[in-house]
Amino acid sequence: MKSYLFAPGPTPVPERVLLRMAAPIMHHREKVFEEVFEEVREGLKYLFQTEQEVLMLTSSGTGAMEGAVTNLFSKGDEVLVVRAGKFGQRWGELAEAYGLVPTFADFSWGEPADVAAISEILEKRPGIRGILIQASETSTGVMHPIREIAALTSKREDVILVVDGITAVGVFEMPMDAWGIDVVVTGSQKALMLPPGLAFISLSEKAWRFAERSTTPRYYFDLKKHLVSARKNQTPYTPAISLIIGLHEVLAMIKDEGLEEVFRRHHRLADATRSAVKAMGLELFAKSSPSDALTAVVVPDGIDGLALKKAFLERYGITVAGGQDHVKGKIIRIAHLGYFDPMDMFQVIGAFEMALHSMGYAIELGSGLKVLAEKLA
Ligand SMILES: *Cc1c(COP(=O)(O)O)cnc(C)c1O
């Protein structure tokens, strides 16, 4: 039996990227590496849709989230944390770990943030220095209205918008400069089609001014140091050389396909997956504004969600994600971000139908596959 990854991270790595990374290690202080690094810097700006430098950190995505908190804010700073899932909670935990004072804007899991509510909090609490939010809340499969929230913060000199774009960058349109987003963070193992181990962060000019004022202690993730090095095609410490070589290949793939086409492909797969799941008689967990990165599906009544996830793996070799915290066992999350194409979705929807069928759920086999074919034909 083959193994198939359909979890929203880590995601499959393309063959040509694996082959590039299998080459003997080059030294990071040599010219060959600096040439790769320079092209990678350009490719990342294209991906983030920014003129700013995109810094590469050796960590998983959370490292860049931590870097955002420690470089932009100081102990006692008030921040607005949007919580509508597991990753929103993580922003809150990071803020509290460094002594920031969070005000929480809580929304139900499965719902997007409400712009009017956020605007009201900003009006009421003029001390707020930043908004911390996800663009795509991976724990629920919901997209937050980043463009509208950026419209609120970009007209204020003293508030920055910090976006965890870990399942958004390279999935759907979120132009950092054009929308006036101050900080965008992502990681290697989601839409970037790489193994885990690299995190990325880019700061607007306004955010760099915040960084000048921040007094939070930091060392490894001191972004100013990374910026100075990056401009010389270097990193302050040994970079994850193999991953950066792989990234060079990934960025060439994205450039060849074209960012617009990358977004269109993700949307087609997401739209077809959502339609297929509904045709199977199932319900999406996202009440509105579903993310094109993944589809979260409500496990139907009478079915044990943990057993369903196990059936995917043991019968068909497919890894999907379940739910976390209070939705554990209640949802199944199917990824379609990164290295996915239409035929991949037939595997996961086919397995979904058969797994439910095997568990005694009344499903007409082929009901989801039929709609998938109609959508993707
Ligand atoms: C995966 C993910 C993270 C966490 O990234 P790690 O790489 O596990 O540190 C953070 N935010 C979102 C939205 C994610 O999807």
pTM above 0.75, yes or no: yes
Taking the C-alpha atoms of residue 299 and residue 308, their distance in angstroms, rounded to an integer, is 8
> To which residue do tokens 């989801």 refer?
368
Q: Rounded to 5 degrees, what are φ and ψ at 189?
A: -95, 20
Sign of the torsion formed by the C-alpha atoms of 105, 107, 112 and 115: negative
CA of 191 to the centre of ligand 1 (A): 11
Q: Rounded to 5 degrees, what are φ and ψ at 147?
A: -60, -45
Which atom of ligand 1 approaches the CA of 168 most closely? 13
**Nearest CA, atom 5, ligand 1:** 61
Segment 145-151 shows an average pLDDT of 98
CA of 181 to the centre of ligand 1 (A): 19
Q: Which H/E stretch holds residue 182?
A: none
Ligand 1 pocket, mutate which of 11, 56, 58, 62 (most atoms under 8 A from CB): 62
Q: Over the stretch 322-367, which tens digit does the pLDDT of each residue have?
A: 999 999 999 999 999 999 999 999 999 999 999 999 999 999 999 9
Which atom of ligand 1 approaches the CA of 137 most closely? 13
Query: Residues of 190-202 as b/e, b for ≥16 C-beta within 10 angstroms?
Result: bbbbbbbbbbbbb
Q: Report the pLDDT value the prediction gives residue 250, as an integer from 0 to 100.
A: 98
Q: Report the pLDDT value the prediction gives residue 150, as an integer from 0 to 100.
A: 98
Segment 263-292 shows an average pLDDT of 98
Domain boundaries, the chain: 4-9+258-376, 15-256
Q: Over the stretch 163-213, which tens digit does the pLDDT of each residue have?
A: 999 999 999 999 999 999 999 999 999 999 999 999 999 999 999 999 999
Q: Rounded to 5 degrees, what are φ and ψ at 345?
A: -70, -25
Q: How many residues does the chain have?
A: 377
Residues with CB under 6 A from ligand 1: 9, 60-62, 87, 134, 138, 164, 166-167, 187, 196
Segment 143-171 shows an average pLDDT of 98
CA of 291 to the centre of ligand 1 (A): 15
Q: Over the stretch 256-276, which tens digit does the pLDDT of each residue have?
A: 999 999 999 999 999 999 999
Which atom of ligand 1 approaches the CA of 136 most closely? 13
Q: Rounded to 5 degrees, what are φ and ψ at 119?
A: -60, -40
Domain 15-256 has CATH 3.40.640.10: yes
Q: Report the pLDDT value the prediction gives residue 340, as an integer from 0 to 100.
A: 98
Contacts 24+ apart (CB under 8 A), 310-315: 311/355, 311/358, 311/359, 312/351, 312/352, 312/355, 315/351, 315/354, 315/355, 315/358
Q: Over the stretch 111-138, which tens digit does the pLDDT of each residue have?
A: 999 999 999 999 999 999 999 999 999 9
Architecture of domain 4-9+258-376: Alpha-Beta Complex (3.90)
